[in-house]
Structure 1
Amino acid sequence: MADATKKKVAVGAGAGFAAALALAVPLIGNWEGKRNDPYLDIVGVPTVCYGETRVKMRRYTDAECLAMLQKGVREFAEPVARCTPAIADRPYQLAAATSLAYNIGIKAYCQSTADRRFDSRDFAGGCAAIKFWNKAGGRFVQGLANRRAEEYRLCMVGL
């Protein structure tokens, strides 16, 4: 199992990482949707803006939501790149994996089949494993399947 704390890789610099962020922000923003006021997500977790769960639940402005999304994507991309160094300089795969991690959490991503396949340099297999995450609360959700299909398409670019 991959462990983000055990793998060492420099992240946050370089054209590949910047390109991954540029790809991931609109992808995640589109699929998360934006709600300025707090709400409960599909499994009852308090959420605001673009799927953010790690902040105070209050009303946010559009500018605050966008800034939060940009910061959040970077906060997820960095540990994904550390957890999966094989994709740290592969913008399309890193963007897709970051979107998955933003939705399921870093721990779940770093213990996933996608991470293991990417680590073994089976990039197409890692992309395919992204599609496994189509359930919430133990039940199939078509919206998640649709999101995973788009993440998969992005992930396969250049392979």
Structure 2
Amino acid sequence: MSKAKLIALVGAPTAAWLLAITPQLEGKVLRGYRDPIGIVTACSGHTKTAVLGRPYTEAECEKLLVDDLIEHAEPVLACTPGLKGRPWQLGAAVSFAINVGAGAYCGSATAARFNAGNFRGACRAMNESDSGRPQWVTAGGKVLPGLVKRRAIERSVCERGLP
């Protein structure tokens, strides 16, 4: 897949933000490794075809990133079509989905609130439950500081431009 397809799908500003932020949020490792909960991962969070110990080139990692972003942006837009034309909310939703999975995103309170037009509530649900407790910040039963930071960034970006 290509950057042009990603841009056509989410728009140039959203694509640029996702291509810049995802490696920062996921880290970038040019080999297959196990993430903090043991999932074989490569490059900037790629898991689908990652091979433990295999070296990856910068070009391979860039292609995998674009492919992963497209693979997650398509279902995000399918289950929350109202995000089309909302670059910050769409970018935050795709970043969230690439981390938790498209199915989890589409079944989340975040997606339901976007679909109900409650954009501020959708953004809040990215990292805070209705009871005010942190959510979507654990993996393998442990709170991961990187996920706490990631959810705060996604929420902040999501809230840009909202009344």
Give the TM interval when normalised to the shorter protein. 0.7 to 0.9
Aligned to 1:3: none
Aligned equivalent of 2:28, options 25, 34, 44: 34
Structure 1 vs Structure 2: percent identity of aligned residues?
A: 40
Aligned equivalent of 2:39, options 42, 45, 60: 45
- TM-score by length of structure 2 reads 0.85
Q: Structure 2: where are the runs of 5+ without partners?
A: 128-134
How do residues 74-89 of structure 1 correspond to structure 2 at under 5 angstroms? 74-89=70-85
How do residues 9-158 of structure 1 correspond to structure 2 at under 5 angstroms? 17-57=11-51, 58-131=54-127, 132-158=135-161
**Alignment partner of 1:38: what SS?**
strand
Q: Label 1:12 to 1:89 Cα distance change in 2 as closer, same or farther (>3 A).
A: farther
Q: How many residues align?
A: 149
Q: Label 1:138 to 1:157 Cα distance change in 2 as closer, same or farther (>3 A).
A: same
| Root-mean-square deviation (Å) | 1.8
- TM-score by length of structure 1 reads 0.87
- Give, in angstroms, the shift of residue 16 of structure 1: 5.5
Q: Give the Cα separation in 1 of the matches to 2:48 and 2:33.
A: 13
Is the 8 Å Cα contact of residues 38 and 48 (structure 1) preserved in structure 2?
Answer: yes
Q: Structure 1: where are the runs of 5+ without partners?
A: 1-10
- Give, in angstroms, the shift of residue 13 of structure 1: 6.9
Runs of 4+ deviating beyond 2 Å: 11-19
Letter of the structure 2 residue corresponding to residue 42 of structure 1: P
Letter of the structure 2 residue corresponding to residue 53 of structure 1: T
- Give, in angstroms, the shift of residue 65 of structure 1: 0.6
